[in-house]
Amino acid sequence: CSATNPRKQGQQSQDALRCGLLELSDTYNRQETVMNREGIFEKIQEILDDALGVDEDEITPNASLTADLGAESIDFLDIVFRIEKTFDIKISQGELFPENLTDNPEWVADGNLTDAGLAMLKERMTHVDFAPFEGGNRSITKLGDSITVDSLVTFVKLKLGG
């Protein structure tokens, strides 16, 4: 809003008021789109309940999608789709869950993450806590256990700009 055309004093005041209200409305709408962790968690609970058929009380922040909730690789596609639809975000292939990890010998050797593989995952998947892989078992079979409900909440929060 700007006053580029000269108008009568009363009309300019009305225009200024209208512009101020529009700016307040825009600010409010932007703030409403940024959800808090609790709101995101509740929606993630619903998504996982629908996608995996588990009870909501089983879907705790620390629950592993694979070890605790029984998610399989095919379920990850459904979860990605539901998250995109629910939060109106776009998730690139491999952004939320690792893909084709074992295809690169620099990342995986003898079924274990290499230092380069772990560094790559930490860089690409900042929403996941890879601390258990730091000094312990680096078997890629345990990688799915690192993806928790809380890591999904963190991912969505980051995607929404929060």
pLDDT, tens only, 19-73: 555 555 444 444 444 579 999 999 999 999 999 999 889 999 999 999 999 999 8
Judge whether residue 10 has pLDDT over 70: no
Cα 105 from Cα 76, distance rounded (Å): 24
pLDDT, tens only, 94-114: 888 888 888 899 999 999 999
Q: pLDDT value at position 3?
A: 47
Q: pLDDT value at position 93?
A: 86
Give CA torsion, residues 76, 82, 87, 90, to 10 deg: 60
Euclidean distance between the first and final Cα of the chain, in Å? 28
Total residue count of the chain as it appears in this document: 162
At residue 64, the 3 state secondary structure works out as: strand
Instruction: List strand residue ranges (DSSP E) for the chain, in order.
Output: 108-109, 112-113
Judge whether residue 12 has pLDDT over 50: yes
Average pLDDT over residues 122-133: 91
Rg of the Cα atoms in the chain: 22
Structure tokens at 34: 């940024």
- Give the pTM: 0.75
Q: Please give the mean pLDDT across all residues of the chain.
A: 84
